[in-house]
Every structure is written in structure tokens, then in C-alpha cells.
């Protein structure tokens, strides 16, 4: 191939005629042969260029920037760009790649479209609390449409990292602690980004990226980027399922994680990237590193220098170097000296080119660069409507003593807190291209709904710091009102990447002011904005009602208002356990029983704390409604589950209140005796149902043996006969119970 030296123009013509008509002729074999026809034209430098991605200087999402990326595109040394968007800018860069590089191979354009591109949805942890897979898929779909309309063809999402670590700021980007729910949500997000049929050639779908592979959500002590150390069984049973589910759903790219697993950093981990991902899970797309993750192998201490780090990564099966310049600097020499077999490079480039063909970029490199379409689709009214819908569904009512909520229209309300008047914070971390100037704050929306004259505002205090000078004014304001709403929580940059905390209480003096307001004897409602489970013990003791609003996105102000005033009956449920204090962390519902469980009759010698209950403040799956639901006992179609058989478990759920409402019905099992110890509960199904006031509905869960499989003593994956418990209820801690036998 090196012998073929084309003049640029001739090569371009030849090249495009070799690659055209992918859409009409898109079978895998056809694409493979087109990929090979391109590969045959490429020099080693050009191949390595495809294995490189640089950030543009439009957005900063990591520690390094590169000023000469445009020149690298022109020279064929950079085949992919991230953090560049808008049709105008993408077109400009794509034009350089297509018209000025020797072979004219189009660029991929990636971006962290995590919970929206322009129209921002609630943070992913918040969305997961909706337990509404259709709404979550819709959120990803809208995000993809807006991203694609703005020139992008690749998102670095979904994040599929299970986490039981509220100290870790990145729990805000995931779907919480549960492998089953996490898997369903991971698949829904992939379908949303890549479209129902994974038709990447559709110009309104974008490539999904499963991240961060693997086990990034379990850093020791919750400190971002820290070491991960877990048993292989826990990894396979609890952490792997959402990644697997996203890959099974058709995601065509995967990002390596920053952490090590069992002593081997993910970016150098052949077991993860080749044996597991490709050989066992059958992944057919390409692997990109996280930001400078190859370089960081030197800091990890598995490579003496960057050249060695690059060798480890390429041999592990890592196809694309994000921002590190390691492949660019060293791979060519390593191939020429025989340290790296060129076949490895060819394989990596094949995988990357294949995705470019699937996206249809060779047919039309500017297919995402239609300025008219961008104008029409970005912030389209139906997108804002979808964001409002998901934001309402994601909110979790944590407390509602004496039916303090909903508020009545026209009541005199005091609104207190810096967050009540903040627009930027509504968007949360990873706000992508979302802007907040035109948005409305919670305060704005409450005024619009309740009438300007019925709403009094005082900031009271900032989110951070210990300045109490605004307390007196806030108290004076609250005295004039019938009810008090205080919006408290974390600022938007207190969760997300590099935002770990050791203290997970509400920061600053916000809670102190809340306590002073409570002393006025008027009903106090807390609206929370935060990106992680917090220790809300003081707030729970103080407020009459608590609404967890997360960072609810572009339409967050309106969503909070509609929930507070009962225009929408809250239906969200927690997908991460909220501890009583940070000392309980990690705390999650699928714990093991231990040999000395808390229920033993003796007082001392059992697994417990001497200063705190074992139970969390708010358990996984918990969330209240403005109505009430009653569960019947469970009936089983049989008490015996046979191999290849099934059992139907039925409960009847009744809305016993006076308002219509939605309820998430949750189904758990427990394997009582195993070859290894088994969790006390594992989620195996859920259904979100709508019930009118007074209405009853049966909900049926079908239990099959494959749902009970796990990695057994000898690490084989399968089921073990014996006795099981089955639970159905409104949260992991409030269930009806029955039992069955697996034969």
C-alpha cells in the first residue's frame, strides 16, 4: 500500500468512488470491503491519524489543550475531534479533513452529550429516578437530534457505571446502584442515541459510547480516579451488566476508564478490552481512551514512559488515543521496529472506519452540517416539552408530613435560598451546549404561577460559606408568608467529574437558616438540588416536606413549580440509597446478610453501629406521592419454578387516596441458600402504573430461572435449585413477601 502514491485530487476521486453508496448497500460484508479498499490506500501515518482524537479549544473537559489540531487534521494526523459543535464550526473542520488532507477521510465529532445538548434534561441520576424507560429513551433521542443537528455524530454516553458511593461526584451521571435497573436504562439510552434500529446512517442519530469501561464507579473512598479493587464475582454480577446491556443494545463505541481493576489500569487491560469486551461480549465497535488515559499509565506505574504506555494500550485492544498524543508520537516507530505488528493497527483502523461508513460520513461528510435544520431543531418546542415531562417524572417526594404539599394557588409563599434564584445551577454538570440566559429560575416560575404579589423572596444565604448576614432579612420575609419554601443543595459543579466530597451534608449555612425558619412555626418545604445522595438527617428532622429535584435541566423551574402546586403528582423513586450519615457509606440495598445480622437477639455481638441504625434514611426504590397506594398479598401461579418454566407473581395495587397518581411497583428476590452467600434482595422487575383515585390494578411479574442466575462458587454462570423469597412492594424496604422453590 505504501507504494501507491496518489496526487491529492486523483486520490480523492478514486477514494470517493470506492466508498460511495453505503446507504443503499450497507450489509456488513459490503462495508467491510469498502473499509479494506480505504485501508489499502493509507500510509502508516494516516492509519495512526485515524487512531487519534483531539479536543478543539471550544470546551475544556480535561487537563490539556492542543493548539495545532487544525494542522493535524490537514496532515491526516488527526481523524477525530471532540468538543467542537455548531454546524458552522463542524463544517469548517470537516472541510479541512475532506478537502485538504491527502485521502479526505471525514472526521468523527464527539461531545459529552450526557443529559441533553442544548435542551438540557435532568442529570442522569435524576432521570433514573423516573423509572420510566420510555421517557429516558426519549430524552436520549431528543439529545441525539439536537446534537446531530448541531454537527455532532458521537456522544460520550451513556455512562453505565454502577455506584454505591455518594462521595463520588460522578454518581450524578449514572443510573444509580442497581445492576438490573441500570441495565434497562443503559439499553434505553443507547436506543435513544442510535435510534430504534441502530440505524447510524440516519442523519438524526448519533453514535453512543459505553463508558467508563470498567468499574469506574467504585473508587476507594469515593475519590475520583482512585484505585478500584473488587472481587471478580462482584464485578461480573453487579458492575458488568449495564455495560453489557448497552453493548447488546448495539452501542458501537466504548470508552476506557481511568481506574485500575485488580492492579491493571483499564487502558492497559487486555482482559477487559479484548478477552471480555470483544471475545466474550461480542463487541464489534471501537474503543477510545478517556482523556489522556494512556499517558496516565506512567503515573499508575505500569509503564516507565509514554512509549511503553502506548504499547500496553494498543496491545490491550485500545483503538483510539484521546488527547494523549502517545499513538501519534510513538506508534509508527514501534511498528517499524517490529514492537507492534501492523496488523494490530489495521484492525483498530478497520473498526474506526467501519463506524464512519455506518454513519454515512463517506457518502456525505457534511450530513450533520445543515444550518437551517440546526435552527429548526435546537430548542424545538417539543424538545422543551419532553424535558419538562422528564424533569417532573424524575422528582422524588422524600417527606410530606401533614400533607404540606401540594401548595394551594394564591397562598402567600416566602421563597428563600440562593438556588431558588439560580438559572445556571438548574442545568447541573455536563450541561453540554445548554445556555441559561433565556431560562427561568424556580423563583421566576413560582411567581408566574402563583402571582407576583403572593411570592416574597429573600436569598438568606449563599450555598457555600458561613455568611449569616442575610438571615435576618430572610426571617423577616418568611414572617409575612403563610408557607416557606427553601431551595437548598449543592451548586452544579459540586457533582460530576473531579467533584468528590467527604462530607455529604448540605453545604454552608443553608440548613442552619432552615432551622431558624422552622422556628417560626409555619410549614416549611425544602426543595433540594443536588447530584448525589446527601445526608439529609437534619433537613428530615426540620422540614415538613422535602422534594428532591436533582439538577432538573432547562425546564427545571417550571417542573418544580408544577410539582409543588400539585399540577403534577410526584412519582419518582430513589435509585441510590440515601444514608443517615457518611459513615454508613457504602450503603446499598443488595447487601449480604452476614453471619451476625442485626436481628439476632443479643445486644452486642452483631453487625451494627453503636451510634447509628443500620438502615438508611431513605432506601433504594423509595418515593412518596400526593396519593396513597395499598398492596394486596402476592399470589403465585405455582410455588415451584421448573427448569425452562415460569411463575407468575401477582399483586393488586389500589390507589387509596383522592388524587390520580403513578406508582412504581418493584419486584425483588432472595436466594436463601447458595454455594456462595447471596444478597438479601435483588431487583428483578418493575412496572410503573397509572391509577386513578380509587382505582385498583393487578400487576403481574413473570419469574423465569435465567433471572436467578449468578456466578457460582466455581465461577460458572447459572442457577442453583433451592428456596427463594419473592418480594413485591413500593420500595426495597416496604414489600409484601412470599416464597417459591427452584427445581
The residues of the shown chain that bind ligand NOJ, judged by CB under 6 A, are 61-62, 112, 156, 211, 290-291, 497
**Which residue, 296 or 535, is less far from ligand NOJ as judged by CB?**
296
Ramachandran bin of 458, using left for φ above 0, alpha for ψ from -120 to 50, beta for the remaining angles: beta
> Minimal distance in Å, beta carbon 109 to ligand NOJ?
13
**Which residue, 161 or 663, is less far from ligand NOJ as judged by CB?**
161
Residue number closest to ligand NOJ, CB atom: 61
Between helix 471-479 and helix 510-518 the angle, nearest 10°, is 30
Beta strand ranges found along 249-336 (DSSP E): 253-256, 260-261, 264-265, 286-288, 321-322
The three three-digit cell numbers of residue 455, written as one number? 411570592
Residue 551: exposure state from Cβ atoms within 10 A (0-12, 13-18, ≥19)? buried
**Which residue, 328 or 622, is less far from ligand NOJ as judged by CB?**
328
> Minimal distance in Å, beta carbon 260 to ligand NOJ?
15
**Which residue, 170 or 440, is less far from ligand NOJ as judged by CB?**
170
CA torsion sign, 521 to 527 to 530 to 536?
positive
> Minimal distance in Å, beta carbon 117 to ligand NOJ?
14
> Minimal distance in Å, beta carbon 455 to ligand NOJ?
39
Do you find a cis peptide bond into 212, omega within 30 degrees of 0?
yes
> Minimal distance in Å, beta carbon 663 to ligand NOJ?
34
The three three-digit cell numbers of residue 620, written as one number? 433504594
Separation between Cα atoms, residue 229 and residue 263, nearest integer Å: 8
**Which residue, 156 or 589, is less far from ligand NOJ as judged by CB?**
156
Separation between Cα atoms, residue 150 and residue 609, nearest integer Å: 53
> Minimal distance in Å, beta carbon 60 to ligand NOJ?
9
**Which runs of consecutive H residues, i.e. helices, occur in 98-239?**
124-128, 133-149, 179-194, 232-234
The catalytically annotated residue of 132, 178, 290, 319 is 290
Residue 290 bears catalytic tag: yes
* Residues whose CB is less than 8 angstroms from the CB of residue 5 and which lie 6 or more positions away in sequence, other chains included: none
Among 547, 535, 575, 186, CA closest to 392: 547
**Which residue, 459 or 497, is less far from ligand NOJ as judged by CB?**
497
**Which residue, 62 or 722, is less far from ligand NOJ as judged by CB?**
62
CA torsion sign, 161 to 163 to 169 to 173?
positive
Written as one string, the DSSP assignment of 18-51 is HH--TTTS--HHHHHHHHHHHHTT--HHHHHHHT
**Which residue, 62 or 674, is less far from ligand NOJ as judged by CB?**
62
Length of the chain: 743
- Full strand arrangement of the beta sheet holding 253-256: 209-213, 253-256, 286-288
The answer to whether the CB of 102 falls within 8 A of the CB of 76 is yes
Q: For residue 159, how far is the Cα from the chain centroid? A: 4
> Minimal distance in Å, beta carbon 685 to ligand NOJ?
30
> Minimal distance in Å, beta carbon 156 to ligand NOJ?
3
Question: Could you give the count of Cα atoms lying within 13 Å of 1 in the half-sphere of its Cβ?
Answer: 14
Count the neighbouring beta carbons within 10 Å of the beta carbon of residue 373.
17
> Minimal distance in Å, beta carbon 159 to ligand NOJ?
7
Beta strand ranges found along 515-555 (DSSP E): 524-529, 545-548
* Residues whose CB is less than 8 angstroms from the CB of residue 370 and which lie 6 or more positions away in sequence, other chains included: 87, 149
**Which residue, 112 or 237, is less far from ligand NOJ as judged by CB?**
112
Separation between Cα atoms, residue 160 and residue 174, nearest integer Å: 6
Q: What is the longest distance spanned by two Cα atoms in the chain?
A: 86
**Which residue, 291 or 631, is less far from ligand NOJ as judged by CB?**
291
Separation between Cα atoms, residue 269 and residue 260, nearest integer Å: 8
> Minimal distance in Å, beta carbon 184 to ligand NOJ?
21
The three three-digit cell numbers of residue 486, written as one number? 427553601
Residues classed as catalytic: 290
Amino acid at each position: 500500500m505504501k507504494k501507491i502514491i496518489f496526487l491529492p485530487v486523483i486520490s480523492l476521486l478514486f477514494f470517493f468512488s470506492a466508498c460511495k453508496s453505503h446507504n443503499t448497500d450497507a450489509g456488513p460484508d459490503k462495508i467491510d470491503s469498502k473499509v479494506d479498499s480505504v485501508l489499502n490506500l493509507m500510509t502508516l501515518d494516516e492509519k495512526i491519524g485515524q487512531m487519534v482524537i483531539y479536543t478543539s479549544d471550544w470546551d475544556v473537559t480535561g487537563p490539556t489543550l492542543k493548539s495545532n489540531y487544525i494542522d493535524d487534521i490537514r496532515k491526516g494526523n488527526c481523524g477525530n475531534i471532540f468538543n467542537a459543535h455548531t454546524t458552522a464550526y463542524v463544517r469548517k473542520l470537516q472541510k479541512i479533513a475532506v478537502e485538504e488532507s491527502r485521502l479526505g477521510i471525514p472526521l468523527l465529532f464527539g461531545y459529552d452529550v450526557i443529559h441533553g445538548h442544548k435542551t438540557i434534561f435532568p442529570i442522569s441520576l435524576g432521570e433514573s429516578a423516573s423509572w420510566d424507560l420510555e421517557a429516558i429513551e426519549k430524552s436520549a433521542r431528543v439529545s441525539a437530534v439536537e446534537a446531530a443537528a448541531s454537527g455532532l455524530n458521537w456522544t460520550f454516553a451513556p455512562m453505565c457505571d454502577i455506584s454505591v458511593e455518594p462521595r463520588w461526584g460522578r454518581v450524578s451521571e449514572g443510573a444509580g446502584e442497581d445492576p438490573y435497573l441500570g441495565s434497562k436504562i443503559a439499553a434505553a439510552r443507547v436506543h435513544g442515541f442510535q435510534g430504534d434500529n441502530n440505524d447510524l446512517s440516519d442523519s438524526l442519530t448519533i453514535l453512543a459510547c459505553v463508558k467508563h469501561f470498567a468499574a469506574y464507579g467504585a473508587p476507594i473512598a469515593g475519590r475520583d480516579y482512585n484505585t478500584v479493587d473488587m472481587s471478580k464475582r462482584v464485578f461480573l454480577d453487579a458492575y458488568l451488566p449495564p455495560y453489557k446491556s448497552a453493548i447488546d443494545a448495539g452501542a458501537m463505541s466504548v470508552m476506557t476508564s481511568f481506574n485500575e481493576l485488580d492492579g491493571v489500569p483499564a487502558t492497559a487491560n487486555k482482559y477487559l478490552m479484548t478477552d471480555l469486551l470483544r471475545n466474550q461480549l461480542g463487541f464489534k465497535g471501537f474503543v477510545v481512551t478517556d482523556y489522556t488515559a494512556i499517558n496516565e499509565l506512567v503515573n499508575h506505574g505500569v509503564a516507565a514512559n509514554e512509549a511503553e504506555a502506548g504499547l500496553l494500550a494498543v496491545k490491550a485492544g485500545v483503538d483510539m488515543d484521546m488527547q494523549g498524543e502517545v499513538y501519534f508520537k510513538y506508534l509508527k516507530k514501534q511498528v517499524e521496529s517490529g514492537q507492534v505488528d501492523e496488523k494490530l493497527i489495521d484492525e483498530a483502523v478497520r473498526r474506526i472506519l467501519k463506524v464512519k461508513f455506518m454513519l454515512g460520513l463517506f457518502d456525505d461528510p457534511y450530513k450533520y452540517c445543515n444550518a437551517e435544520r440546526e435552527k429548526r431543531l435546537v430548542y424545538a418546542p417539543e424538545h422543551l416539552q419532553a424535558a419538562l415531562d422528564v424533569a417532573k417524572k424524575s422528582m422524588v417526594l422524600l417527606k410530606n408530613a401533614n400533607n404540606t404539599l401540594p401548595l394551594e394557588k394564591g397562598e402567600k409563599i416566602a421563597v428563600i435560598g440562593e438556588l431558588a434564584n439560580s438559572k445556571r445551577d438548574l442545568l447541573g454538570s455536563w450541561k453540554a451546549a445548554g445556555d441559561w440566559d433565556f431560562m427561568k429560575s424556580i423563583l421566576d416560575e413560582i411567581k408566574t404561577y402563583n402571582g407576583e404579589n403572593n411570592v416574597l423572596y429573600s436569598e438568606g444565604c449563599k450555598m457555600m460559606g458561613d455568611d449569616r448576614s442575610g438571615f435576618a432579612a430572610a426571617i423577616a420575609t418568611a414572617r409575612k408568608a403563610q408557607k416557606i419554601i427553601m431551595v437548598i443543595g449543592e451548586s452544579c459543579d459540586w457533582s460530576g467529574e473531579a467533584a468528590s466530597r467527604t462530607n455529604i451534608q448540605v453545604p454552608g449555612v443553608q440548613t442552619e437558616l432552615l432551622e431558624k425558619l422552622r422556628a417560626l412555626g409555619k410549614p416549611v418545604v425544602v426543595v433540594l438540588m443536588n447530584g448525589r445522595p446527601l445526608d439529609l438527617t437534619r433537613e428530615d428532622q426540620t422540614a415538613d416536606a422535602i422534594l428532591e429535584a436533582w439538577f432538573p435541566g432547562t425546564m427545571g423551574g417550571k417542573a418544580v413549580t408544577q410539582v409543588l402546586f400539585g399540577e403534577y403528582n410526584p412519582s419518582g423513586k430513589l435509585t441510590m440509597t440515601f444514608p443517615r450519615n457518611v459513615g454508613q457509606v457504602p450503603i446499598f440495598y443488595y447487601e449480604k446478610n452476614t453471619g451476625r445480622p442485626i436481628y439476632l437477639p443479643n445486644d452486642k455481638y452483631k453487625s451494627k453501629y453503636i451510634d447509628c441504625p443500620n438502615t438508611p434514611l431513605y432506601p433504594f426504590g423509595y418515593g412518596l406521592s400526593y396519593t396513597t397506594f395499598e398492596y394486596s398479598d402476592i399470589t403465585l401461579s405455582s410455588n415451584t419454578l421448573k427448569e425452562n418454566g415460569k411463575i407468575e407473581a401477582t399483586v393488586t395495587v389500589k390507589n387509596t387516596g383522592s388524587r390520580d397518581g403513578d406508582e412504581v411497583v418493584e419486584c425483588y428476590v432472595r436466594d436463601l441458600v447458595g454455594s456462595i452467600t447471596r444478597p438479601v434482595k435483588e431487583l428483578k422487575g418493575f412496572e410503573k402504573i397509572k391509577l386513578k383515585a380509587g382505582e385498583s390494578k393487578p400487576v403481574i411479574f413473570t419469574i423465569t430461572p435465567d433471572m436467578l442466575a449468578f456466578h457460582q462458587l466455581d465461577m460458572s454462570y447459572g442457577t442453583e435449585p433451592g428456596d427463594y423469597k419473592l418480594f413485591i412492594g413500593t420500595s426495597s424496604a416496604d414489600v409484601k413477601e412470599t416464597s417459591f422453590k427452584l427445581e
